[in-house]
Every structure is written in C-alpha cells, then in structure tokens.
Amino acid sequence: MTSRIRHRGLHALLLLGVIASMFPFYWTIVMATNTTQAVYGDPPKLIFGSQLLTNIRHVMDNIDFFGSMVNTIVVAVCTTVLVLFFDSLAAFTFAKYEFPGRRVLFGLLMLTFMLPLQLALIPEFDIMVRLGWVGDLRALIIPASANAFGIFWMRQYIKAAVPSELLEAARIDGCGFFRQYWHVGLPTIRPGLAFLGIYTFIAAWNDYIWPLIVLVNPGRITLQVALAQLNTAHGTDYSMVMAGALLALLPVVGVFLLFSRQFVSGAIKGALRG
C-alpha cells in the first residue's frame, strides 16, 4: 500500500513537471492565435483564438521569413553534420587510442569550457574579416563545425559503449583507424550522436548574437535575427511576434522527434543487450 502511494505521488509530480514545462508552448499558441489586446485585456484571453492566419500574414509582410528560414536551415544542418563527424572522430581518438600528449591535449580542450563565448567574438570577427567571410553563411558554419562539449560528451559515451575487444578484433581483421571508426564505432554510438545532433541543431537554430554581428547583408540574415526585427521602438505586436516564433519552432520540433526516436531506440537496444 505504501509503495502504491509512493508511485502515485511520483507520477503526480512528474505530471506537474510536464504541465509546467509545456505551459510556455501553450501560451505561445494562445498569443499567436489572438490579438495582443485580447491577451492583455481584463480578463486576459486564455484560450485559442482565430487570428493565427492574420498574425502570420503580418509576419510575412514585415520580414523575409522564408528567406531567413532557408538560411537558418542551411546553417543548422551543415553545422550539425560537421559537428557529428568531427566531434565523434576526435572523441573516438581520445577514447580508444594512446598517443603522445593525449592527456595534455584533452586537458587543454577542457580548459576552453572556462572561457566565456563572448570573449571570442572580437578575435573571431577579425578572422572572418581577414578571410572575407563577413556577411557569408560560412562565418556561422565553419567556426561551429567542432566544439569541446561535443568531443567531451562523445568521448565519455564511446569509452562506455564501444568495447576495446571489438576494436582489437577489427584490427586483427585488417581494419585501419577510419574503418574501425566508421564500421565499428559509429553503429554503436548512434544514441550518443542523436543527443549531440539534437543539442547542436537547436543551438545553431537559436543562435542570435554571432549572426547579428557577422551577417551584415540584410538578405543573408538568419531567422532569429529576422524575428528580432519585429520588435519596434514604437510598440510591439506580441501576437505577431509569437506567431513568428511558433512558425520558427516547427522545424525544431520535427528534428527533435526524428533524432529522439533514434536516441530512444538505441537506448532500449543497449539496455536489452546489457
């Protein structure tokens, strides 16, 4: 009886947590489907309205929504693919191979966690100027193609998930380093890659400060910078802004559902093997 009460209490707490985490999304939809006056009226409107298409039309009239979304998709997809490849390759090397200076190099990599991202903005912008990439999407993709967090995360995952005996068997069969990584390592670490893919895509999709600085061409801006232009000094139509945010959220939800299926599937297979 006590165990049943404990389980019900735990389920109730989890349900409250789900409701609390989902409320911002509900409020976004409420604001996107109503007018700003209705939402901030007395009493405020707390149910879905019928103004979604009107608010979306206002978004399209004020910014180049689809053009900036295409730019953001290019940046997020290219960044995610490069991070998954380079970070997992570097992590595989750190986790499963001994070479001179390995611990020193990994320690230096970990030290980058202590540096604020804002500290790198000026030198990074100077590099982009020298390369002639200011205003180009390459200035967003190439600097973000590898990061310390991804290497650290994948190294820890690979150390636990990839048996050294399996790699030794591959070496005996004549597999070189890259074939071991590609044919032995990657199939085993798919759940870890799925998490890193979700994390990287969302970070690239929501990035605002660096695109605002480096993308000086109005026709090459990303979605977050474009949505920020909906805020004006003479007043903000929050329903219009929330409609734009809702549209920008849909691709992220799709990517999350795609990668999360791989993550859950791989985790279940790993649990069954264990």
Q: Could you tell me if 170 and 180 are in contact, meaning their C-beta atoms sit under 8 angstroms apart?
A: yes
Regions of the chain short of the pLDDT cut 50: 268, 270-274
Domains of the chain: 63-224 (1.10.3720.10)
State the pLDDT at residue 253: 86
The C-alpha atoms of residue 35 and residue 31 are separated, in whole angstroms, by 7
Sign of dihedral through CA atoms 48, 52, 54, 55?
positive
State the pLDDT at residue 56: 93
Give exposure, 179-199, as e/b (b: 16+ Cβ within 10 Å).
ebbeebbbebbbbbbbbbbbb
Q: Could you tell me if 187 and 222 are in contact, meaning their C-beta atoms sit under 8 angstroms apart?
A: no
Crossing angle, helix 148-161 and helix 65-96, to 10 degrees?
50
State the pLDDT at residue 274: 44
State the pLDDT at residue 174: 86
State the pLDDT at residue 115: 80
State the pLDDT at residue 271: 41
The C-alpha atoms of residue 62 and residue 59 are separated, in whole angstroms, by 5
